[in-house]
Every structure is written in C-alpha cells, then in structure tokens.
C-alpha cells in the first residue's frame, strides 16, 4: 500500500484572536482540497474543542504538545487522556521549539510519545538537526539519536500511530528551506535507520514528512521526492497558500 500523503498545519502560538482563527478556517472550509491527502491542523489548545464544531470533517485536529501522565498536579500541562476524551486524535511531540526553548530531551519526548500512543493518540514526532550540526556532517547521527530514544520505548506495532516530521532547525521559520535533494537524503536516511532499528515493514509504512519554511512555491518540487510523504507547515499554514501546499501534488 502506498503511504498516504499527509499535511499538517502547526499554528504554534497563533493567531491571537478567534476572529483571525475564523478567517483561517473559513478559507480551509471553502477550498478545493485534495481528497487523497491526510490533513491535520494544530491550533493552540484552547481552540481545539470549539474548532471541532466548525472545521470540515476532512480536517483532523492535533494538539501541539502533551504530558505523559493522565492526571495530577502538573500545572499548565494537558494529558493524553484528556485529548482522547475530547476526541482530538493527534498530538505533535518533540518539536524543536519544545526541545530548545523548553529543554525537552529526546528521552522525555520518547516517554511522552509512548504515553500518547498508549492512550490511542496518533503522534507527529519531530526530529531535526541544527545548522552547526549539519555543517559538521552530523545530520544523520543527530536525527538517529533523537529517534533511537523513541525506538527504545516503543513496540513495533506502536509505529502505525507515528508520523515522523523531519524538520531541520535551521529551516524552521527562517525562509531557508532545505533543497529537495537535502530533504530526500535525510528522509531516506531515516527510512534506512528504521529498517535496521525497527523493521523493514515499519520503514516502508511510516510517513516521513518535511517541515521548515514550506511554502506553496517550494512544496511542489519537494513533494516529488520519493521519501517525502508530506509536510508539517508553520507560518504558511496561517495563510491561504496552505491550500496550495495541501494540494502540492496536483
Ligand atoms: P515554518 O515552521 O513552516 O514556519 O518554518 C515549521 C514548523 O515549525 O513545524
């Protein structure tokens, strides 16, 4: 079975009013969207439940983060059980902004990934290298270390609930997109790693999507790469061009 193309919109801490959110959603609700693509949007968590009522059914909702405990004294956190109870199917984990600004280690991200999957959430698991790491030839090793922590705690069957987002840190929010060749190579390296570290079937079936300054203009070429199974989009997911990114393969 070919891997289903997958496009996620990571709104991050945007927008700042429900009026602006309404405009973004009405563009998506009235657009002609590629029916073969899996589409997920991740608004700030306080908008998740109201959006269920207004967003078209082809769009699935995702949280941008969650904790690993089900409940308790963890001020400011959201639990996998709460997301499941609210019928939110996805969560983004390990985004580079969480890893760098909020000091999340790969082990912590792995622990949260396992907890989310155990709760029946699907996980968009983000990995990626910094510019100094790329420039010193460490891209594959850095990404593999980030993934190894997750491999260590998951069972083979867990991987059916994981989409891997390869997001080079130097490309996120910078306007400096990876070339199609750089993205393809990194994705192929991840697939090769999964073959050895988990299984050939998991390597073949796991979607590996690219994130980092994806736009309508660069998404077409990136989408032709054989190991690029879609996108995780930040800034451009707040704009009408997100529709063109969703439809990149048309
Ligand atoms: P960007 O963000 O598209 O604004 O570069 C991507 C991401 O952080 O997921």
How far are the Cα atoms of 44, 136, 139, 153, 179 from residue 65, in angstroms, in the given order? 10, 30, 24, 19, 28
Determine if ligand 1 sits within 6 Å of the CB of residue 10: yes
Question: Which atom of ligand 1 is least distant from the CA of 171?
Answer: 5
Tokens of 225: 């790469």
Our answer to whether residue 95 is catalytic in this structure is yes
**Mean pLDDT to the nearest integer, 233-238:** 98
> What span, in angstroms and rounded, lies between the C-alpha atoms of 193 and 79?
30
pTM: 0.98
Domain covering 6-246 assigned CATH 3.20.20.70 in the classification: yes
pLDDT digits (tens, 9 = 90+) for 172-228: 999 999 999 999 999 999 999 999 999 999 999 999 999 999 999 999 999 999 999
- Whether residue 183 contacts residue 228, with contact meaning beta carbons closer than 8 Å, is answered with yes
Mean of per-residue pLDDT scores for the chain? 98
pLDDT digits (tens, 9 = 90+) for 115-170: 999 999 999 999 999 999 999 999 999 999 999 999 999 999 999 999 999 999 99
pLDDT digits (tens, 9 = 90+) for 71-89: 999 999 999 999 999 999 9
> What span, in angstroms and rounded, lies between the C-alpha atoms of 132 and 119?
37
**Mean pLDDT to the nearest integer, 31-48:** 97
Domain ranges for the chain: 6-246
Tokens of 227: 């190991």
Tokens of 61: 């909702």
How many whole angstroms from 73 Cα to the centroid of ligand 1?
Answer: 31
- Whether residue 246 contacts residue 161, with contact meaning beta carbons closer than 8 Å, is answered with no
Candidate list 97, 104, 129, 167, residue with the active-site label = 167
Look at ligand 1, atom 6, and give the residue with the nearest C-alpha. Answer: 234
C-alpha angle with apex 62: 58 to 64, nearest 5 degrees? 155
Look at ligand 1, atom 2, and give the residue with the nearest C-alpha. Answer: 234
Q: Is the pLDDT of residue 4 over 90?
A: yes
3-state secondary structure of 154: coil
How many whole angstroms from 232 Cα to the centroid of ligand 1?
Answer: 7
Cα distance between the two ends of the chain: 20
**Which helix (H) or strand (E) is 132 found in, with range?**
helix 131-135
pLDDT score at 1 = 75
Provide the 8-state DSSP code for 238: G
Determine if ligand 1 sits within 6 Å of the CB of residue 94: no
Tokens of 52: 């269920």
> What span, in angstroms and rounded, lies between the C-alpha atoms of 6 and 24?
19
pLDDT score at 212 = 98
């Amino acid at each position: 079975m070919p891997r289903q193309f997958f496009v996620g919109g990571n709104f991050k801490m945007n927008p700042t009013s429900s009026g602006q959110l309404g405009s973004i959603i009405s563009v998506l609700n009235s657009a002609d969207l590629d029916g073969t693509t899996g589409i997920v949007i991740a608004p700030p968590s306080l908008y998740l439940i109201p959006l269920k009522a207004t967003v078209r059914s082809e769009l699935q909702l995702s949280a941008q983060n969650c904790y690993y405990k089900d409940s308790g004294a963890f001020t400011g956190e959201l639990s996998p059980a709460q997301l499941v109870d609210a019928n939110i199917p996805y969560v983004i984990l390990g985004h580079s902004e969480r890893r760098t600004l909020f000091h999340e280690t790969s082990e912590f991200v792995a622990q949260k990934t396992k907890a989310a999957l155990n709760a029946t959430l699907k996980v968009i698991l983000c990995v990626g290298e910094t510019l100094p790491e790329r420039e010193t030839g460490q891209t594959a090793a850095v990404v593999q270390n980030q993934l190894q922590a997750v491999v260590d705690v998951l069972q083979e069957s867990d991987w059916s609930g994981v989409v891997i987002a390869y997001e080079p840190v130097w490309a996120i929010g910078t306007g400096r997109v990876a070339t199609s060749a750089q993205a393809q190579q990194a994705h192929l390296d991840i697939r090769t790693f999964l073959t050895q570290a988990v299984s050939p079937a998991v390597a073949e079936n796991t979607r590996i999507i690219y994130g980092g300054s994806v736009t309508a203009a660069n998404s077409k070429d990136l989408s032709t790469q054989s190991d690029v199974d879609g996108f995780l989009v930040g800034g451009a997911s707040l704009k009408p061009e997100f529709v063109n990114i969703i439809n990149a393969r048309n």
